[in-house]
Structure formats: structure tokens, C-alpha cells
Structure 1
Amino acid sequence: MAIHFAVTCSFLVAIAARAIPITTGRVRLIRELCESSRLEILHPTAPDSSHLNNSFIVARVINGTNSFLFTVDARKQAETEMLNNRIDLQSTVLSGIW
């Protein structure tokens, strides 16, 4: 965890030094990647720094008729929140942490 945190901090410092704009991913954020592909953020609604695993982004990439759900390390609380918010989780491929 310490190495991951250090790399993340270095990355954020480099972004800030170059004044690169950042968009914080939140539920229902959609970005068109190209004519036939888009990225949808399905979680979180509001990140919780006391429970980082429940604050990871859950995303779906849709390309034509194929879709890929990236859950990273979502925990039960995050799963429950998405289900309670009636987030459509249907995808062709599921990719979790491995």
C-alpha cells in the first residue's frame, strides 16, 4: 500500500506541476472515447477517504456491442450502493482485481 500511495502522490505532483486539468470520476460521468466507444463511471457517488476500497472507481467501457466492467477492488458496501442506485452493471466482460 505504501508503494502504491507513493507512486500515486508522485503522479499527482507531476500533474499539478504541469497544470494539467483533472476530472474527478463520479457516478454517471460519461466520456466519449471515439465514435463507437465510451467510458461510463458507475461508482463512487462520493469518495470516502476512510474506506478507500469503497472509493475506487468502477467503470464500464462500451465499444459497439461489447462492454467491459472494471470493478477494481470494490467491496460489498460499494456493490450495495450501486445496486441501491439501480446502476446498470450488465456487461459482456467482467474484470476485477487479480
Structure 2
Amino acid sequence: MSFMICVSIFVALCMLGGFHFYLILTNQTTIEFQLNMVRRRQCRKNGEFFRNPYDIGRSRNCQEVFGPNSLWSLKWMFPYLAAPPMGDGLSYASSMPGLEL
């Protein structure tokens, strides 16, 4: 019984962790993910292509979240060793010119 509980909690945590890893790679919050799904459906219905304006590539998206350190160096796991994130937290790079918030 306890093994089944542990396995089900592990599966749930893996699903949640995988979803948030996807959000990091696409540079979205959970709320933006929900809003972008609606926008994506509307664009698909109109025959257009939707792209998240803050998706600037997987590597740069990870650097937006974890700081300018290499993802494979694992320095981002230790904030006292890692370089601080770039920016002021109020403005973000955008893949669309003129849309920087």
C-alpha cells in the first residue's frame, strides 16, 4: 500500500516538474500558458500561426530564469556561486520588436 502511494506521488511530481520544465523552455508562466492556449486556438481557427512573443530560444529562456550561467555547469543550483540574473525584473526581452515589457 505504501509503495503504491509513493509511486503515485512520484508520478504526480514528475508530471508537475515536466510541465514546469516545459514552461521554462518556452519562457511562460502558468497563467500565460492558459492565455496562449486560447490565443493559439483563435489563430489556428483564422489560419494564422501563433508564437509566444517572449520565447527567445531555449538557451536564452533558461538564462532568463536561472541567470546568465551555463545550464550544464549547474552553478544556477547554488545562488551564492552563480552570477545574478540580468535585468531589473520589470522589463523582459521579446522576439517581437517593440514589444519589450
Tell me, yes or no, whether TM beats 0.5: no
| Higher RCO, 1 vs 2 (CA within 8 Å, ≥6 residues apart) | 2
How does the TM-score come out when normalised to structure 2? Answer: 0.25
Higher strand share: 1
Greater share of helix: 2
Bigger Rg over Cα = 2
